[in-house]
Amino acid sequence: MSATLDTLFSLLDQHLKHYESLAAFIDREQLALIDQDLDRLQSMVKAKETVILKIKLLIPLLSRAVQAVALEIGLEPDPLPTLTELAKAAPPAYSRRLERAGLAMARLKKKITRLNETNRTFVQETLDLVSGSMAVLTGAPTNANSGYLSTGQRAPHRAPGPVRLSREV
């Protein structure tokens, strides 16, 4: 069993390192967004894509390792057990390491989500700046409701309807 768990820990360590580097690239991406440095931003996007590809390639190996450990400790391999479930059923010597790995993944997920939300805000502010500048240059009216929703989805464009004027003074 220890060989299977050691394989899982090795894969988890690689997985965590990839996510840590992804978080670092997203953090650097934020600086490029603030500076509006398009070349640096483009290099950060390429670096992120490379790390994401590495993560995607590692997921099947990690899934097979989790299934193998689950079988060895008496859990059902389908659906894939979580690290918390593995930690509860694993021998005490390995349980703590599995818990720490799960906590580290949760912490990284929260950090990456927070960084992405901040970056999305910077992108939206830049889009609003460009939109406002274009409106000033072209003399076109600006639509205050254009842009993105907090979910990241593009806000629907609403055509202005008829205007009602009140004649009461």
pLDDT in tens, the chain (169 residues): 688 889 999 999 999 999 999 999 999 998 888 888 889 989 999 999 999 999 999 999 999 999 999 999 888 888 888 888 888 988 888 899 999 999 999 999 999 999 989 988 888 888 888 888 887 777 765 555 556 666 767 777 665 555 555 666 5
Structure letter (DSSP) for residue 157: P
Q: Is the dihedral of CA 117, 119, 123, 128 positive or negative?
A: positive
Name the architecture of domain 2-138: Up-down Bundle (1.20)
Give Cα 11 to chain centroid, integer Å. Answer: 20
Domain residue limits, the chain: 2-138
C-alpha span between 75 and 89 (Å, rounded): 8
pLDDT at 150: 62
Q: Which residues contact 119 (CB under 8 A, 6 or more apart)?
A: 26, 29, 30, 33
Start-to-end C-alpha separation, the chain: 85
Q: Which residues contact 89 (CB under 8 A, 6 or more apart)?
A: 73, 74, 75, 81
Structure tokens belonging to residue 138? 């072209």
pTM above 0.95, yes or no: no
How many C-beta atoms lie closer than 10 Å to residue 88's C-beta?
14
The dihedrals phi and psi of 154, each to the nearest 5 degrees, come to -70, 130
